[in-house]
Chains A and B, each alone.
Chain A
Amino acid sequence: MIGRIGAIVRADFLIRFRRLSTVVVFLLLSGFAYVWVPSPATGRTLMQVNGARVLYNSAAIGMATAMLASVFVGLFGFYVISNAVRRDIDSRCGYVIASTNVRTVEYIVGKFLGNVVFLSTFMGGYMGASMCMLLVRGEARLQPLIFMKQYAVLVPSAIVFVSVVAIVFESIPFLAGRFGDVAYFFLYALSLGLVVNMMMHGGAVARYVDFSGFGYLMEQTQRNLHTQSLSIGSSPFDVSKPVLVIDGFNLSGGAWATRLVSTLSPIPLLLIAVPFFHRFDPARLRAAGAKGKRGWMRNINALARPLVRPLAAIPVRGAALKDAMMTFASTPFTAFALIGITIAAVANPASLPIAIAIVAIFIADVASRDRRAGTTGLIYAAPRLRERFVTWKLSSAAIVALLLLIAPLLHTAIAQRGRLLPLLIGILFIAAAATSLGVISGNPKTFIVLFLTFWYVVVNDKGATKALDFAGFFSTPAMGVMLMYVGITVVMIAMAEMVHRMRLRD
Chain B
Amino acid sequence: MLVLEGVSKKFRGGNYGVRDVSLSIGSGVIGLLGPNGAGKTTLMQMIATITRPTAGAIRFQGIDVARDPDAIRRKLGYLPQDFGVYDNLTAVEFLSYFAALKGIHSRARVGEMLEMVNLHNVARRPIGGFSGGMKQRLGIAQALINDPDLVIVDEPTAGLDPEERVRFRNVLADAGLGKLVILSTHIVSDVESVATHIAIMNGGSIVACATPEELMRGAEGSVWEMVVPSERFDELRRTARVSSAVRKSDGVHVRIVSGEEPRGGASAAEPTLEDAFLHTMSTRAAA
Chain A residues close to B by CB (< 8 Å): 3-4, 6-8, 10-11, 14-15, 18-19, 87, 90-93, 95-102, 279-284, 286-287
Contacts and interface: CB of A to CB of B under 8 A. Distances in A.
A11 B49 CA distance: 24
Given A281-B50, A282-B51, A97 B86 contact: no
A3 B100 contact: yes
A371 to B, nearest CB: 15
A18 B44 CA distance: 34
A11 B103 contact: no
30 contacts: A3-B103, A7-B96, A7-B100, A10-B97, A11-B86, A14-B93, A15-B89, A19-B88, A90-B84, A91-B85, A91-B86, A92-B84, A93-B83, A93-B84, A93-B85, A95-B78, A99-B48, A99-B73, A99-B76, A99-B78, A100-B73, A100-B98, A102-B101, A279-B50, A280-B50, A281-B51, A282-B50, A282-B51, A283-B12, A286-B12
B253 to A, nearest CB: 36
Contacts of A3: 100, 103, 105
A287 B12 contact: yes
Contacts of B96: 7
Contacts of A279: 50
Contacts of B103: 3-4, 101
Nearest to A95: B80
Contacts of B42: 282
Contacts of B45: 95, 282
B218 to A, nearest CB: 33
A92 B83 contact: yes
A99 B148 CA distance: 12
A96 B88 contact: no
Nearest to A20: B88
Nearest to A106: B101
A130 B74 CA distance: 49
A25 to B, nearest CB: 15
Q: Would you list the 6 A-B pairs with minimal beta carbon distance, nearest first?
A: A7-B100, A91-B84, A18-B88, A99-B78, A95-B80, A11-B97
Contact of A4 (B86, B100, B152): B100
Contacts of B49: 98-99
B101 A95 contact: no
Nearest to A90: B84
A286 B98 contact: no
Nearest to B70: A101
A101 B86 contact: no
Contacts of A92: 80-84
Contacts of A95: 45, 48, 50, 78, 80
A11 B97 CA distance: 7
B102 interface: yes
Nearest to A285: B51
Interface in B93-130: 93, 96-98, 100-103, 105, 126
A447 B234 CA distance: 54
Contacts of B93: 11, 14
Contact of A99 (B9, B50, B84): B50
B243 interface: no
Given A7-B96, A14-B88, A283-B9, 8 more contacts: A7-B97, A11-B97, A18-B89, A90-B84, A101-B70, A101-B73, A281-B51, A283-B12
Contacts of B81: 92
Contacts of B9: 283
